[in-house]
Amino acid sequence: MKSIERVLNKKVDHKALKESFMDACSNKDFKDFIKTIPAKEDVLINYTSSLEDASCEYKNCKDCKGLTNCKNSVKGYLLTPEVKGDSISFSYNACKYLNDKLEKDAYKKNIELFEMSKEMMDASLKDIYKDAKRIPILKYFQEFTKKYGREDVKGLYLHGSFGSGKTYLVAALFNEMAKKGIKSVICYYPEFLRSLKASFNEDFEERFNTLKKVDLLLLDDIGAENCSNWNRDEILGPILQYRMEEHLPTFFTSNLNLSELEKNLAITTSGVDKVKARRIIERIKQLTDVLELVSKNRRD
């Protein structure tokens, strides 16, 4: 008796399903949409409501001009049916605009920022002002890109006035290299030291090792930190030593030239030590070519 009831119910359900499917088909967009799905009507009628949602999202996408105008329920995604035998499953797939964006931004996974603003990940060599002051730097970048991976290449000690675009330039180079799969860290050095001290018992070792070993490193704004024996002799010294031995290109930006930086490094909270400061400067000189960028302050 029970099984007869079931069969009857199923028949009724089937009729109701078919009716609501036919109802939905009175909408031309829906009708056109289901023509693209390789399934028989008997299968489709079980999914009318989801297919209506998917059809609606499909239409939104067809008329869409870009991600900011997305009308779908999950921004950048569209509900998509997939036929599997006698059933249909639905999943949210990235739309073409989101896919383009994901592809365009894929290089960003190769760059790690330590205490830096994210805007530097969008710095691009294409957009760099190509004025006379930047020509030697851009030439250096060209050489660097050509030689990297083929022979030893030095990093850059780029010093000059505040806001002239030093960090932006090196970030643009790193972004270019990231597109080729080269990993880098852009580290705002003064703040990094503060946070490194604070994280002493947590991820200190990991952060310290990342700076030592990453393919390309920028120590940004060196000389602006409060110099202590600890950060000069236990942090900076070993990082530079390791990178020198392993031939890992290392970049610096600073408001100070090398002799000003040397004076800065000599005076710590514990006294004056010219020899240790000299040793750091020697390492920087071995690791880098030195260029200057004095230009108007771009932050105004």
Residue 25: helix, strand or coil by DSSP?
A: helix
**Lookup: tokens for 5:** 């009831």
Q: Write down the residue that tokens 């991976």 correspond to.
A: 149
DSSP string, 140-185: HHHHHHHHTTTS---EEEEEESTTSSHHHHHHHHHHHHHTTT--EE
The smaller minimum CB distance to Mg ion, of residues 48 and 167, is found at 167
Cβ(114)–Cβ(186) under 8 Å? yes
**Lookup: tokens for 163:** 């806001």
Residues 57 and 77: their CA atoms lie apart, in Å, by: 9
Q: Write down the residue that tokens 């950060």 correspond to.
A: 231
Cβ(46)–Cβ(17) under 8 Å? yes
State the binding partner of 163 from ligand ADP, Mg ion, none, CB within 5 to 8 A by kind.
ligand ADP
Report, in Å, the least distance between residue 287 CB and ligand ADP. 19
Report, in Å, the least distance between residue 224 CB and ligand ADP. 10
State the binding partner of 152 from ligand ADP, Mg ion, none, CB within 5 to 8 A by kind.
none
Binding residue (CB under 6 A) for ligand ADP from 12, 109, 129, 260? 129
State the binding partner of 71 from ligand ADP, Mg ion, none, CB within 5 to 8 A by kind.
none
| Count of CB atoms situated within 10 Å of the CB of 232 | 20
Within positions 26 to 85, which residues make up the interface with ligand ADP, using CB under 6 A? Answer: none
State the binding partner of 165 from ligand ADP, Mg ion, none, CB within 5 to 8 A by kind.
ligand ADP
Binding residue (CB under 5 A) for Mg ion from 55, 72, 110, 167? 167
Contact between 127 and ligand ADP by CB under 6 A: the answer reads: yes
Binding residue (CB under 6 A) for ligand ADP from 167, 254, 264, 288? 167
Binding residue (CB under 6 A) for ligand ADP from 253, 254, 268, 288? 253
Binding residue (CB under 6 A) for ligand ADP from 84, 200, 299, 300? 299
The smaller minimum CB distance to ligand ADP, of residues 45 and 216, is found at 216
Report, in Å, the least distance between residue 247 CB and ligand ADP. 26
Binding residue (CB under 6 A) for ligand ADP from 155, 165, 223, 249? 165
Binding residue (CB under 6 A) for ligand ADP from 166, 232, 243, 283? 166
What are residue 276's DSSP bridge partners?
none
H or E element that contains 59: helix 48-62
Report, in Å, the least distance between residue 128 CB and Mg ion. 15
The smaller minimum CB distance to Mg ion, of residues 286 and 297, is found at 297
* Strand ranges, E, within the chain: 77-84, 87-94, 111-114, 155-160, 184-188, 216-220, 250-254, 267-268, 271-272, 288-293
Tell me which stretch binds Mg ion (CB under 5 A): 25-33, 53-61, 162-170, 172-180. 162-170
Pairing of strands 87-94, 77-84: antiparallel
Binding residue (CB under 6 A) for ligand ADP from 72, 110, 164, 264? 164
Handedness of CA 23, 27, 29, 32 (dihedral sign): positive
Interface ranges with ligand ADP (CB under 6 A): 119, 127-129, 162-168, 253, 298-299
